[in-house]
Structure 1
Amino acid sequence: MSRVFRKTLRDSGPPGGHPDFFAAEAAGLRWLAAAGAPVVRVLRVGVDAIELELLDSARPDRRAAREFGAALARTHDAGAPRFGSPPDGHRGQLFIGRRTLSSVEYDTWGEFYARERVEPYLRPALDAGYLTAADHDAVRQACELIASGVFDDDEPPARIHGDLWNGNVQWTSGGAVMIDPAAHGGHRETDLAMLALFGCPLLGDILAGYEDVHPLVEGWQDRIEVHQLHPLAVHAAGHGPSYGTALGRAARAVLALARG
């Protein structure tokens, strides 16, 4: 019998709660699992709580990291209908952490990413005093550039975790397991950029395993700051001015990259 980890809306959900909060988490986990992703198993879900299999804990090792990278590549390759598509069967609100996340769908990545993954978090960051006017202007310029399609490529929508920071990768005796997704159709480089942003252990081995399955497009390292705008914007909206500063710095790097 599985041991249970129970989260309640009162303790884990957004301010004021939301009836879709745990349904979105469960749908994301199941959608990723359907692609073979190593994710925590959903045991039970309701409006007020979700029950997940309780994971054990182990030290990360190179073999587990490489296997995780390979599994992540296969998950991405399972795809999504469009950029911004929600998990199959979920028609309610999406979330990233405790903040709402858009499920408006697009045919092109750049417009989707700028309009639905970066811009919605700028006003809250400004209102909180965590984003300066100068940094806000730089992010807006970067968003216009991204929306124009300058970074678009032939990559199809990937099935991404969407909130793949280090804390959402749990190392167990059976390998790495992902938790707390903000799953949607996005660009595969976004998940990898988030792993890099918050310092995932053995990232080099994860990337090596990933490229064993699906090599990354040349120059992906140069685009890391492009894909980090989203998590930085989300954090700038509620986690302090250091994230606003980092967001402005990343936006200026994006503008410099476009200028060549």
Structure 2
Amino acid sequence: MSASLTEAELDGGLVVVVKRGHARDAVAAEAAGLRWLAEPGVVPVPVVRGGDAHWLVLDRVTAGSPGPAAAEDLGRGLAALHAAGAPAFGAAPPSAPAEAWIGLAPMSTTTGTAWRAWYAEQRVLPYLRRAVDDGVLDHTEAAVVERACAHLPDSAEPPARLHGDLWNGNVLWGTDGRAWLIDPAAHGGHRETDLAMLGLFGCPHLDRLLRAYDEAAPLAEGWAERIGAHQLFPLLVHTVLFGRSYAGQAIAAARTVR
């Protein structure tokens, strides 16, 4: 989430991060997401100290260097977090505002019971339509994505509790030797989507993280072949937000779906 950041010291010496959101209730959505991710007690997330419709106050996490042990711990933690579940695909965290965001882009909170249809209708096609309307993708390229939506893999897995915007920039490697999750777009979804996002822009020790995850909660056969399908969502969001520089990646991901 794009926001202005500053640090402050509270009475007693606790140093916190104060964030101003890019839109009304954007920080409230982040706060609800952080609390929901913290609820199972399996992944480190900053403590929410307070906030309102515009401001959010969080504990500061001091950044360190990524390490293999922290990555493995995060893999096991994500497996447990996903297993904590969600009421439905698309379900927002309890007490979240009606508006949801992924970065600067609006994100639907419409729910569904079948992952394939919900993912196409609420996570892929809205951003495809906006990219076409904005002239970022042409109709030939849009047809490639539409064909991918028609051939998305089916899944019988229940809704997982997702971070929702789990690229490496939202993993903060702390000086305490742990990997912390920040800036969520938390919702109910398919657990493979979080893992596919981690692979998009490079994540340190990703092989160790995925191995630890798979040992804790084995992934369904053929997971690697479905990565492109799960990356369609974040790649189209990036195409909408940042333009043609991501369009090629989005179309390439769509072509892997057969």
TM-score by length of 2: 0.91
Secondary structure of the 2:212 match is helix
> How many Å separate the matches in 2 of 1:74 and 1:24?
22
- Tell me how far 1:91 sits from its aligned partner: 4.5
Give the gaps of 5 or more residues in structure 2.
1-12
CA contact (8 A) 2:104 2:241 kept: no
Equivalent position of 1:4 in the other structure: 16
Partner residue, 1:28: 33
Identify the residue that residue 173 of structure 2 maps to in structure 1: 171
Letter of the aligned partner of 1:70 in structure 2? R
SS at match of 1:205: helix
- Taking the aligned partners of 1:206 and 1:115, their CA distance within structure 2 comes to 30
Query: SS of 1:65's equivalent?
Result: helix
Counterpart code for 1:213: A
Alignment of 1:36-51 (within 5 A): 36=41, 37-51=43-57
Residues 130 and 243 of structure 1 are in contact (CA less than 8 Å); yes or no, is this contact kept in structure 2? no
RMSD: 1.2
Partner SS state of residue 79, structure 1: coil
Task: Determine helix, strand or coil for the equivalent of 1:44.
Answer: strand
**2:246 equivalent to 1:243:** yes
**What amino acid sits opposite 2:151 in the alignment?**
L
* Runs of 5+ unmatched residues, structure 1: 256-260
**Bigger Cα displacement from structure 2, 35-44 vs 177-186:** 35-44
Corresponding position of 2:58: 52
Partner of 2:116: 110
Q: How does 1:173-212 map to 2 (within 5 A)?
A: 173-174=175-176, 175-212=178-215
SS in structure 1 of the partner of residue 204 of structure 2: coil
How far is the alpha carbon of 1:212 from its aligned partner? 2.4
Structural mapping, 1:121-200, within 5 Å: 121-146=127-152, 151-174=153-176, 175-200=178-203
Q: 1:91 to 1:240 in 2, by over 3 A?
A: closer
Question: How far, CA to CA, are the matches of 2:56 and 2:95 in structure 1?
Answer: 18
Could you tell me whether the CA contact under 8 Å between 2:28 and 2:97 is conserved in 1?
no
- Length, aligned pairs only: 244
TM-score of the two chains, using structure 1 as the length reference: 0.90
Give the secondary structure class of the aligned counterpart of 1:113: helix
Measured after TM superposition, the shift of residue 127 of structure 1 is: 3.1
3-state secondary structure, aligned to 2:154: coil
Do residues 96 (structure 1) and 102 (structure 2) align?
Answer: yes
Between 126-135 and 61-70, the greater mean CA deviation after superposition: 126-135
Moved more, 184-193 or 134-143: 134-143
